[in-house]
């Protein structure tokens, strides 16, 4: 049955290519040809794929549970309704949504052995993935801004960094992200796909999809490259400059105790920034521009770099942030079944 299924899939794929070749020949070259959909083939040649997908499923469960707990703790505790924890909650929501964009689809491909995704659904997945992946960059930047104001302007912290100002900053970043990703995704509809419809990635990724086009894709390449630089390099540069300012301020403090106390408030943020930015920057720099990473390794590296940070972020904040840790433990103990309490 499995052999018959793959044979039917292969025949359908060949018929699809022949149909698109016929349309390209019959119609004028200005006509846009959209295929029924794409095949996601990023993990077809990956060894031990079963173990990897079990691991990814565990990552997704942990992501939802820990981020959900973090959001609930912040929402039900009025003492945590502060600019910092508003930004932390924003990051937790983004983490859940980011992994929801890709991991359920990856698990479906593994369980059902169906790697076909319709064209419109492909664009929807692409849109939401890049919305939340880009928002993750800016959410981490907002947390860096919070630490910058708290340490460099301690006397004016409460007047500068209010809940209202934090909501305004978050709203502006969301509007910028929505605008840029809406434009970059919408121009994908200008492409014709007349040849292959096999996407070598773990989801409907932007670059692997537009490279399949049989008409000019220079606009999509330019927009993708520009937004990659802006949405990765600009937030990362702001975070680096923020910590340079923080270090300058810390070393001007007179006592060692004050220095250590100030730096301790930044530890959890530095960890999640490193976990998110460093792998992605390395992969994009080496793979996208130098082309030195084999495709299989690039897909595996990108999927790990994308899926692991949303899982690790709430764990870091739960273990490192005293306010979250104590209230989360209290909430778990309060809702523990009576039999377990005894």
- pLDDT score recorded for residue 133: 94
Whether the pLDDT of residue 152 is over 50: the answer is yes
Strand partners, 39: 116, 198
pLDDT classification of 342: cutoffs 50, 70, 90: very low
Average pLDDT, the chain: 84
Per DSSP, helices labelled H in the chain are 2-26, 49-76, 83-112, 119-152, 157-160, 163-186, 206-210, 218-228, 234-251, 256-264, 267-283, 295-320, 322-334, 338-341
Domain boundaries, the chain: 36-316
Domain 36-316 bears CATH identifier 1.20.1070.10: yes
Q: What pLDDT, in 10s, does the model give residues 266-301? A: 888 888 899 898 888 787 777 666 656 677 777 888
Q: What pLDDT, in 10s, does the model give residues 111-126? A: 877 889 999 999 999 9
- Cβ count near 305 (within 10 Å): 19
Query: Which of 39, 52, 179 lies closest to 115, judged by CA?
Result: 39
Q: What pLDDT, in 10s, does the model give residues 229-253? A: 899 889 999 999 999 999 999 988 8
CA angle centred on 228, ends 227 and 234, rounded to 5° = 85
Query: Which of 117, 179, 136 lies closest to 272, judged by CA?
Result: 136
- CB–CB of 72/85 below 8 Å? no
Report the distance separating Cα 126 and Cα 41, nearest Å. 16
CA angle centred on 208, ends 205 and 212, rounded to 5° = 130
- The least confident of 69-73, 178-182, 217-221, 254-258 is 254-258
- Phi, psi torsion values for 302, nearest 5 degrees: -65, -40
- pTM, full prediction: 0.84
């Amino acid at each position: 049955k499995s052999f018959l299924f793959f044979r039917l899939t292969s025949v359908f794929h060949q018929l699809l290519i022949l149909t698109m070749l016929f349309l390209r020949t019959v119609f004028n070259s200005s006509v846009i040809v959209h295929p029924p959909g794409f095949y996601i083939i990023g993990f077809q040649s990956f060894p031990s794929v079963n173990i990897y997908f079990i691991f990814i499923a565990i990552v997704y469960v942990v992501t939802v549970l820990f981020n959900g707990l973090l959001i609930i703790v912040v929402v039900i505790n009025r003492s945590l309704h502060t600019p910092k924890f508003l930004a932390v909650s924003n990051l937790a929501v983004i983490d859940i949504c980011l992994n929801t964009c890709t991991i359920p689809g990856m698990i479906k491909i593994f369980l059902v052995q169906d790697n076909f995704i319709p064209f419109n659904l492909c664009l929807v997945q692409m849109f939401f993935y890049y919305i939340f992946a880009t928002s993750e960059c800016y959410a981490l930047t907002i947390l860096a801004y919070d630490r910058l104001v708290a340490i460099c302007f301690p006397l004016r912290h409460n007047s500068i960094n209010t809940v209202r100002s934090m909501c305004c900053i978050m709203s502006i970043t969301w509007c910028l992200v929505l605008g840029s990703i809406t434009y970059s995704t919408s121009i994908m509809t200008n492409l014709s796909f007349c040849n292959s419809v096999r996407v070598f990635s773990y989801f409907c990724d932007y670059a692997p999809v537009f490279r399949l086009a049989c008409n000019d894709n220079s606009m999509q390449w330019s927009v993708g490259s520009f937004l990659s630089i802006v949405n990765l390099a600009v937030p990362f540069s702001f975070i680096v400059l923020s910590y340079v300012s923080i270090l300058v301020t810390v070393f001007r403090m007179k006592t060692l105790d004050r220095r250590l106390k100030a730096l301790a408030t930044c530890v959890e943020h530095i960890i999640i920034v490193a976990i998110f930015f460093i792998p992605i920057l390395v992969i994009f720099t080496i793979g996208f521009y130098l082309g030195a990473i084999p495709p299989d390794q690039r897909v595996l590296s990108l999927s790990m770099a994308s899926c692991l940070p949303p899982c690790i972020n709430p764990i870091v904040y739960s273990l490192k942030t005293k306010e979250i840790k104590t209230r989360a433990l209290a909430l778990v103990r309060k809702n523990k079944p009576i039999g377990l309490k005894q």
